[in-house]
Structure 1
Amino acid sequence: MRSIILTLFLFKVSFSSSTTDNDPTRTIESGVVIGTSTSIASSPFGVQQFLGIPYAAPPVRFKPPQNPVPWSTPYNASTYRPACIQQFNYPEEHRTRIIEWLNTPGPPAGESEDCLNLNVYTPISGEQAKAVLFWIHGGVFSFGSGSLPLYDGSSFAANHDVVVVTINYRLNIFGFPGSTALPETERNIALLDQRLALDWVQRNIAAFGGDPKRVTIFGESAGAGSVDALITSPPDPVHFRAAILHSGQKTFNPKSSDSASSWTKIVTATDCPQEEPAALECIRGKPASRLKDIIEKAALPFDAILDDSTLSKTPRRNRLESAKNPSLIARVPVMMGTNANEGSMYVIGQNDTQAFLNTALRVLYPGGAPQELVQKVLDAYPLGEPGLKTERDRMDRILTDVLAQCPISIVAEDSVGVNISTWRYYFDASFPSSELFPGSGAYHSAEIEMVFGTFDRKGATDAQLEVSKRMQKAWADFAKNPEKGPGWGMVPEVGVFGGGVRAGERNLGKAVFALAGEDLDRRCKLWESLYRK
């Protein structure tokens, strides 16, 4: 995977210096944009790329986004523009590992507060009013960018005649300032950025061959949480007709946002006045590099607050009551799923499940986890069962269930229970070109390169090529006809990609099949009390 990403990075840089008379040109609301064209080896169609288009004016720190300022001369959209300010927390070993695994190579144009831009990938031929897939990246609301080569939409667009849009949005303290001087409805700035980008698509995507009435939003991890927030706290009007959630949701959130606490610590660290609004104005005047240094070294968390505007205080109730009151949520067809080893990257170096549980459960039990609960968990995940050969396997499985699979299964059940067309997938494969480390399995985010087609094709196995082909088709089929679905039955059925294929194996027969959700979720009853409130 790393080699293909580096190749793509160099490919983009080669376009950065100038444009030619033959480059594709589009006229949008803000003015003329000039992109580039390229061919895709796996597709008979070429792709036009329009990169780094501003969907908002240069942002004012800690203020909601505004529409872009029109330009009078053609805008060079042949190269990526800066990502938003990133946060990779210390200690150094942790920071280095996350950067290597999830951000290498990093954003091609660096990072800046002036980062509210998006990228459009559109096929050169095919139908004119194409389905649109609008990607919201993950990164725990701390890091990430729509410009990462992992999210290059060229292969996806060319192979399936769809338009792919990837976006930046403000992150960490810049996306979730915890100042009480700000109205609650202006503290989830990151979510407001996403909504303005989605609004931009409605106004401009037709210029790129996309149909604004056929938009599917999709995202992974924090991006999937953002998609869920758009569903359960929908904008008016709703600017999408379908949604896909990869390994994340915002219906169940184990803990509330720490942004206010983090804000207080930043105010103290910068010697700003403790009182508001003086603290807010003081922080506004500090260099971004100084704030970045503070939040990374102190490992400060940031997340959305429940403002009942961009993030509902009652998302589950809204979904469950939406059959009687449809305006509570966006009642659109949904597909959601998880990977088999969501927890693998978080249990590196650990080999004591009981000690791990005692530490992990302190979030729910500050005075110490009841030992009968710890023993109950250990009994539910016995060593020696298929897939649980080692202590690390067991901890990985526990984290996968608690953080991803079990909450997603309940959201899916709730959704289909109120007559929303709902599908579910499960990704269970790993390949030599994409392993983070030996035994990483189908780790958190591993499916993304399969959907976007950005894995290393030179080292790809036949199974890898086949799984990616089937995943791209399923995602595209869903976007083109959401009510028909991705190609397998609705919940409780689950479409499985990979079927347990592991690095070094060749098994085309396990590319995709379906199983019953109850077989996949058999341990989730143990964790129900965390979610069913």
Structure 2
Amino acid sequence: MLRRLLAVCLGAAALAYGSLVTVNTTSGQLIGSNTDGVISFKGVRFAQAPVGNLRWVPPQPFVSLEVQNATSFAPSCIQQFSSALEEAFFNQGGPSSSSEDCLFLNIWTPTNDSGTPKPVLVWIYGGAFTFGTTALPTYDGTSFAKNQDVVVVSVAYRTNVFGFSMARDLAPQRTNLGLLDQELALQWVQQNIAALGGDPAQVTLMGQSAGGQSVGAAFLRHTDAHAPFRAGILLSGAPTFRSAATNHTPFDAFARAANCSQPAGPARLACLRAVPAAAVSAVLATDAATFAFEAVVDNATWFVQPLARIAARATALKPIVVGNAAGDGTVWALGYSSLRAAITDYLGASAAQVSDAQVRALYPGQNDSVVTASFITDYDYKCGAGLWAKAFVGAGERDVFRYSYGAVFVDLSPLPGLGAWHGSELPMIFGTYNASSATAAEKTLSATLQGALGAFVRDPTAAPAAHWARYAGNATRGLAELGYHGNVGPGDFVEAVPGESLDGPCAALYDRFLAAGA
């Protein structure tokens, strides 16, 4: 009976042996595990090891006929944290091992026999494009897969200098390698997910922070006709204006620190490719401010004017959920000694156009600590979500669902006063909160929020939850405030407010920089 059930659920190639399951894929015959109604395949290689001569090369597909043990996570990509604060907040239960050889993905698929292929959720982690891993306990896909009856896939991609080198030694189309890693993983999903119980025509992308930016970048580089997904969920991350100029200084400084002093070009790359990964990691750890790597404009994976590109309908226009956490900026504000320092950091060359007094005026009656956190929340997260919602609606996409997440739970807050801080919704979405410390309200909200996003994955053309209307700007109550006032149940966790009710500072000041770099 079990063998027949798994064969129906996972395709004719799947067989079960006790708690182990095998399935044939382009990566080989995977051996996974069957636990509590969910089959998982972890550490599945989708690309050749990007080491040696393949360092700083676009990912190369991995194809095998061999048996692959897929019962545990593979090493994470090499991490680079900008501060101890960042690591403490965003690496809780982080990877036990890391490696340059890190291009693997993980799959969770329910064992229940629905008789039809299941919708698929592909998760892309955040981490400012400098850190991140699929192995965080928060990102375990078991609960979402089981409770929402969807296949969950999480994908790894290169970060920091390995994935976003900003090197003048490379062609522009070879600098955002982490995004190319994601693209190859999406191709793997299209080729293999049917054998794992999923429907390749029903793929939804979901990411948070840099992962949300990555989902947005996937929309920007694809058209409707050729996109390997049908919907997207952008959590606290949406690409906005980016200067076309690439700052090569971080890579040049890294090369000098790694004792490769040749002029930029093949000889310097050859020298740097010979530097052991552990030595590269050690260099990165010495000065995070100098070795600051990010995605750059290459007009293939990242673009100067994302919003104009959407308006011109040069992108995939498909259903989206887009929004942010109400306290996205509170953690980041802890790292700034003054409001001016934050303005300078976030606005860069445009900071001279914005005075401290202008920003303070947007948050009357608040001290500078609160103003700094609010500025970061709005400028880096909320305004971008609003601009994307407006742009998609303006381009004709009907199924746009905007939200702001405001739930606060004491046991999820590392420090008091952070509110709904950056990433605090993720244990709720994945159902990976601490069951021993969670309140009844917390458990209920997790089931409610996960259920809403699960509903969107199953049918992105329908409202995710009661009272969650499609976004249509200021004229309608089209912005869903989630869990703001202790409301946690499926019938009341959405409070519908006017579409632009939270966007005052954006419209007054920030949008002009985010939309056009003015």
Structure 2 partner of 1:454: 432
- Call closer, same or farther: CA 1:281–1:20 in 2, change over 3 Å: same
Structure 1 partner of 2:151: 163
Contact (CA 8 Å) 2:239, 2:384: kept in 1 or not?
no
Which residue identity does 1:28 align to in structure 2?
T
Residue by residue over 1:269-321, the C-alpha shift from the partner in whole angstroms, topping out at 9 and shown as x without a partner, is: 12213312211111110011111121221211111221111112332221001
Q: CA deviation at 1:49?
A: 0.8
Contact (CA 8 Å) 2:305, 2:515: kept in 1 or not?
no
Q: CA deviation at 1:456?
A: 0.8
Structure 1 partner of 2:344: 361
Structure 1 partner of 2:35: 38
- Call closer, same or farther: CA 1:25–1:366 in 2, change over 3 Å: closer
RMSD: 2.2
Residue by residue over 1:132-174, the C-alpha shift from the partner in whole angstroms, topping out at 9 and shown as x without a partner, is: 0001100001111112111001000000100000011011110
Q: Which of 264, 270, 287 does residue 298 from structure 1 map onto?
A: 287
Q: Which of 69, 72, 85 does residue 78 from structure 2 map onto?
A: 85
Q: Does 1:64 align with 2:91?
A: no
Structure 2 partner of 1:103: 91
- Call closer, same or farther: CA 1:366–1:305 in 2, change over 3 Å: closer
Q: Tell me how far apart the structure 2 counterparts of residues 255 and 195 of structure 1 sit (CA, whole Å).
A: 22
Q: Which moved more, 1:446-455 or 1:62-71?
A: 62-71
Q: Tell me how far apart the structure 2 counterparts of residues 438 and 256 of structure 1 sit (CA, whole Å).
A: 40
Structure 2 partner of 1:244: 233
Contact (CA 8 Å) 2:159, 2:178: kept in 1 or not?
yes
3-state SS of 1:274 partner? coil
Count of aligned pairs: 483
Q: CA deviation at 1:452?
A: 0.6
- Call closer, same or farther: CA 1:419–1:432 in 2, change over 3 Å: same
3-state SS of 1:518 partner? coil
Residue by residue over 1:55-99, the C-alpha shift from the partner in whole angstroms, topping out at 9 and shown as x without a partner, is: 112122111111113042x2111111111111123xxxx32x222
Structure 2 partner of 1:378: 360
Q: CA deviation at 1:524?
A: 1.6
Q: Tell me how far apart the structure 2 counterparts of residues 485 and 450 of structure 1 sit (CA, whole Å).
A: 19
3-state SS of 2:451 partner? helix
* Residue pairs, 1:327-366, within 5 angstroms: 328-348=314-334, 355-357=338-340, 360-361=343-344, 364=347
3-state SS of 1:517 partner? coil
Structure 2 partner of 1:412: 389
Which residue identity does 1:416 align to in structure 2?
V
Contact (CA 8 Å) 1:362, 1:369: kept in 2 or not?
no
Contact (CA 8 Å) 1:247, 1:404: kept in 2 or not?
yes
Q: Tell me how far apart the structure 1 counterparts of residues 439 and 327 of structure 2 sit (CA, whole Å).
A: 20
Which residue identity does 2:318 align to in structure 1?
V
Contact (CA 8 Å) 1:220, 1:248: kept in 2 or not?
yes
Q: Tell me how far apart the structure 2 counterparts of residues 516 and 466 of structure 1 sit (CA, whole Å).
A: 26
Which residue identity does 1:457 align to in structure 2?
A
Which residue identity does 1:307 align to in structure 2?
D
3-state SS of 1:239 partner? coil
**Same amino acid, percent of matched pairs:** 35
Q: CA deviation at 1:358?
A: 5.4
Structure 2 partner of 1:319: 310
3-state SS of 2:504 partner? coil
Which residue identity does 2:480 align to in structure 1?
G
Q: Does 1:288 align with 2:277?
A: yes
Contact (CA 8 Å) 1:51, 1:78: kept in 2 or not?
yes
Q: Tell me how far apart the structure 1 counterparts of residues 335 and 272 of structure 2 sit (CA, whole Å).
A: 38
Provide the TM-score with structure 2 as the length reference. 0.88
Q: Which of 171, 174, 189 does residue 183 from structure 1 map onto?
A: 171
- Call closer, same or farther: CA 1:510–1:374 in 2, change over 3 Å: farther
Structure 2 partner of 1:489: 469
Residue by residue over 1:98-149, the C-alpha shift from the partner in whole angstroms, topping out at 9 and shown as x without a partner, is: 22211121114x1111111000011110423100000110000111111211
Q: Tell me how far apart the structure 2 counterparts of residues 397 and 359 of structure 1 sit (CA, whole Å).
A: 11
- Call closer, same or farther: CA 1:431–1:376 in 2, change over 3 Å: same
Structure 1 partner of 2:11: none
Q: Tell me how far apart the structure 2 counterparts of residues 520 and 365 of structure 1 sit (CA, whole Å).
A: 25
Q: Which of 140, 144, 154 does residue 132 from structure 2 map onto?
A: 144
Provide the TM-score with structure 1 as the length reference. 0.86
Mark the runs of 5 or more structure 1 residues left unpaired by the alignment.
1-18, 40-45, 323-327
3-state SS of 1:26 partner? strand
Structure 1 partner of 2:111: 124
Q: Tell me how far apart the structure 2 counterparts of residues 307 and 255 of structure 1 sit (CA, whole Å).
A: 8
Mark the runs of 5 or more structure 2 residues left unpaired by the alignment.
1-15
- Call closer, same or farther: CA 1:473–1:245 in 2, change over 3 Å: same
Which residue identity does 1:79 align to in structure 2?
S
Q: Tell me how far apart the structure 2 counterparts of residues 254 and 403 of structure 1 sit (CA, whole Å).
A: 16
Structure 1 partner of 2:21: 24
Q: Which moved more, 1:216-225 or 1:480-489?
A: 480-489
Q: Tell me how far apart the structure 1 counterparts of residues 26 and 258 of structure 2 sit (CA, whole Å).
A: 41
Q: CA deviation at 1:359?
A: 5.1
Q: Which of 186, 197, 216 does residue 209 from structure 1 map onto?
A: 197
Q: Tell me how far apart the structure 2 counterparts of residues 365 and 121 of structure 1 sit (CA, whole Å).
A: 42
Residue by residue over 1:315-372, the C-alpha shift from the partner in whole angstroms, topping out at 9 and shown as x without a partner, is: 22210011xxxxx21111111010010111122276x7xx41355236647697468x
